Amino acid sequence: MKTSVPYRTEAGTALAAAAALTTARERVDAARWPDVARGPRGSAARTAVTRLLVQRALASLPLRVALGDTPVTGAEGPLLRVHDPDAFFCRIGSDGLIGFGESYMAGEWDTDELVGALTVLASRLTSLVPRPLQRLRGAWAHRRPSAQRNTPEGARENIHRHYDLSNDLFALFLDRTMTYSSALFPRRPAAWSDLAGAQHRKIDRLLDLAGLIHGSGKRLLENHLADRPGYAAYTARTSGFLPLPPRRHPHPEDTRP
């Protein structure tokens, strides 16, 4: 049974939360994140419907939730604090998951366990919205701009925009192997120092499942997982298999030999 416990029972606590929210918004770089800095914009009707759907969804999850100054609901799980419910629901109603992330950037909600809260939400993502209403997504979600469609002309630009980034950027959140697919951690919560070992554990698991042992007669074809040098080096060192590079498929407009 879900219970409620007091939250922000003193005026000073509420004022401190409001001040923290204001400070978080002021820290947003308006030049880099203009949509986050200027706040959400959406119709009152869409925001109201979003509020009903999101509150219904949150009530079904193993989370504790505090909306504004209301008591905490839920008996277990990470605590999700929504400091500005109006802005929170408006952003989600206007921009969906992107709005949910931008609301976090703006300080409109936070949590005592970010990984845990997001894990709960992600594991039930497909069932948070009632199935009959999921059919209306086309009328609600933003359409992909025509310039970003994966046509032969647009695909190259999309790939360039997503992947032609410097190693300095990837080094901010990847381990020293620069492997950017999911790692395999033995336990949670995990620490940053566990990431390299978890990446090696993932590669070992894949090699074992593929049966890549000496004398097996198999060859390993490099794929998207191997876009970083650490994968090939670790595979060669631990299994003796050097991944073969994928065959290049030239673009129709590519005239290079």
| pLDDT higher than 80, residue 37 | yes
Residue 174's pLDDT is: 85
Q: Give the pLDDT confidence score for residue 20 in this predicted structure.
A: 55
Q: How far is CA 170 from CA 103, 105, 226, in A?
A: 24, 20, 14
**What does the buried/exposed string (b/e) look like for 183-221 if buried means 16 or more CB atoms within 10 Å of the residue's CB?**
bebeeeeeeeebbbebbbebbeebbeeeebeeeeeeebe
Largest pairwise CA distance in the chain: 72
* pLDDT score for 175: 83
Q: Which residue has the higher pLDDT, 77 or 241?
A: 77
**pTM, full prediction:** 0.60
pLDDT in tens, 202-252: 888 877 787 766 556 666 665 554 445 555 666 655 555 555 444 444 333
How confident is the model at residue 75, as a pLDDT? 83
Tell me the percentage of the chain whose pLDDT exceeds 70.
68
8 pLDDT tier (thresholds 50, 70, 90): very low
Supply the mean pLDDT for the chain: 76
Give percent of the chain above pLDDT 90: 21
pLDDT at 23: 57
CB atoms within 10 A of CB 222: 15
